[in-house]
């Protein structure tokens, strides 16, 4: 869905960025990979920290 919106938004943004084609596949894939990695790290780090907590201890503190 995001890629479809980005293709649609190229008409608006083509006047704002210089040196990049309107539909540059390398840029679209690169930005998608970077956003995926940021989301993965943002979800992985708290989950890893939560794995080290005993569930019964967490339930008792609430």
Query: What is the span of the domain harbouring residue 42?
Result: 23-62
Q: What is the pTM of this model?
A: 0.57
The answer as to whether 49 is a domain residue is yes
The answer as to whether 16 is a domain residue is no
Which pLDDT does position 45 carry in this prediction? Answer: 94
The answer as to whether 7 is a domain residue is no
| Residue-wise DSSP of 1-62 | -HHHHHHHHHHHHTTT-SSS-TT-HHHHHHHHHHHHHHHHHHHHHHHHHHHTS-HHHHHHH-
Band the pLDDT of 61: cuts 50, 70, 90: confident
Q: Read off the pLDDT of residues 5-50 as tens digits, 9 standing for 90 and up.
A: 877 777 777 777 777 666 678 877 888 999 999 999 999 999 999 8
Phi then psi for residue 17, to 5 deg, are -110, 140
The answer as to whether 32 is a domain residue is yes
Which pLDDT does position 22 carry in this prediction? Answer: 65
The answer as to whether 48 is a domain residue is yes
As for how many domains the chain has, the answer is 1
């Amino acid at each position: 869905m995001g890629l479809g919106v980005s293709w649609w938004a190229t008409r608006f943004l083509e006047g704002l960025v210089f040196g990049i084609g309107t539909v540059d596949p390398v840029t679209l894939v690169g930005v998608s990979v970077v956003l995926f990695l940021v989301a993965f790290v943002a979800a992985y780090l708290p989950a890893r920290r939560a794995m080290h907590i005993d569930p019964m201890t967490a339930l008792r503190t609430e």
